Structure 1
């Protein structure tokens, strides 16, 4: 366990990337949306924005960087690939807990202030992040971890097979998505798919996303064994 903690601490040497930039970029996005909200005519339900996605996308980038830029020197510290990966996953979990709590607190403040005084809904996403605080925290945690692990997997594929492998990896995902669409179309199950997304609860969907995150974590763990530095 101590070795895993040391790997996590190794990543945090770059505090700007992991601690400052995610919140800095999200804050910039928030201020941009404040300006836009001030310029557009008011609506009865307020102004909803997708600006919160910036912190998730940047964590995806952080995940990729942790497996491309930081991996070679990390392995020079004498740890195995598996230990490096699990130590990075430990960092992901801790960041997910803390960042998820921060997003939850900001949503509570947003609600209490009536959308920061001008009905701006930045941290509140209808349905999926619109319930009790603990559901918001759990969903935020799962999404943060999912995006980071997804970025780690991308970084590992690039590290092992370079650009050609990365293109093939993306193409494979698109192909799988197309096969699913074709299968649903051939079985005429679009009504069932629609029923699922209109009846599933946010908490249940969070559970599905947690399974997806676990699958990505496993995929990355398998991939790192083939990575050369």
Structure 2
């Protein structure tokens, strides 16, 4: 690792609040609210989707981090390649640490029967059906994808500006609408259902990794020609 890449990683680490504290505060606030509600109920099992908050924040963080740090890094004569590499390393590190903690919380929640009040916030059906390694991969794969998806959005903005981002959004909406129509009209939904039927969350997470790699390549290609 060269000095420029190390400098980018250190630059991101200075903003520990945004990378670590804020997402966990948001998610744990949701957890505490659900825990209080579960404690007032009479032995009813509660399965909540509050865990999604950390994934949504990951996408937002992927967008915001670039806008906050990219112009500053270029102002210090850092190469785009070094900035991209350092930022990817930071995203990987955050995703790994977060996934390890989520896996531990999932096991604690399962062992304690939902924290004693049958609240299942981290240990979710289907999502955490596998062993510890499989659960880690599920958490990690989706976190990494959300970060990189946000990174692609920010890269589009840096390369083409607001107009380019708007055009990309409109084109994506049109393509999505056409695909939905085709799936329903041509009954492709049967094939899609058959494809996912029987596949575990771990299998889906593995399938998502190549998509994440494509996102990183697209981001890098856009960054090479982006402006401040």
TM-score (norm 2): 0.92
- 1:70 counterpart SS class: helix
Q: 1:68, 1:119 → 2: CA distance?
A: 41
Mapping of residues 143-162 of structure 1, within 5 Å = 143-162=142-161
Following superposition, the deviation at residue 113 of structure 1 comes to 0.7
Mapping of residues 108-187 of structure 1, within 5 Å = 108-187=107-186
Count of paired positions: 227
The corresponding residue for 1:28 is 29
Pairwise CA RMSD of aligned residues?
1.7
Range 203-212 or range 47-56, more displaced: 203-212
User: Which runs of 5 or more residues in structure 2 are unaligned?
Assistant: none
Q: 1:64, 1:58 → 2: CA distance?
A: 10
Q: 2:195, 2:41 → 1: CA distance?
A: 35
Task: String of CA shifts for 1:27-74, please: whole Å, max 9, x gaps.
Answer: 11111211232345543xx10111001111111111111211111001
Query: Is 2:110 the counterpart of 1:106?
Result: no
TM-score (norm 1): 0.92
User: Which runs of 5 or more residues in structure 1 are unaligned?
Assistant: none
Following superposition, the deviation at residue 183 of structure 1 comes to 3.4
- 2:20 counterpart SS class: helix
Following superposition, the deviation at residue 86 of structure 1 comes to 1.6
Runs of 4+ aligned structure 1 residues displaced above 6 Å come to none
Q: 2:200, 2:131 → 1: CA distance?
A: 13
Range 53-62 or range 179-188, more displaced: 179-188
